[in-house]
Amino acid sequence: MFKCSTKTAFNDLNDLVKKGVLNRMGKTGRYTYYTLKFNVQSNVQSNVQ
């Protein structure tokens, strides 16, 4: 879809989970999906400090 490697997509998604922007649903593999967290602004600010 965005023409990036699987590893790059995985790293980018993990970074967004760590920053509190996304929720990871499922454990690993094919059945894992991500949802957007609400109130992202306060989550990102708290991670920056």
pTM reported for the whole predicted model: 0.66
Print pLDDT tens along the chain (49 aa).
678 998 999 899 999 999 999 999 988 778 899 999 987 565 555 555 5
What are the extents of the domains in the chain? Answer: 6-48
- The reported pLDDT for the residue numbered 28 is 76
- The reported pLDDT for the residue numbered 2 is 73
Exposure string for 18-49, b = 16+ CB within 10 A, e = fewer: eebbbeeeeeeeeeeeeeeeeeeeeeeeeeee
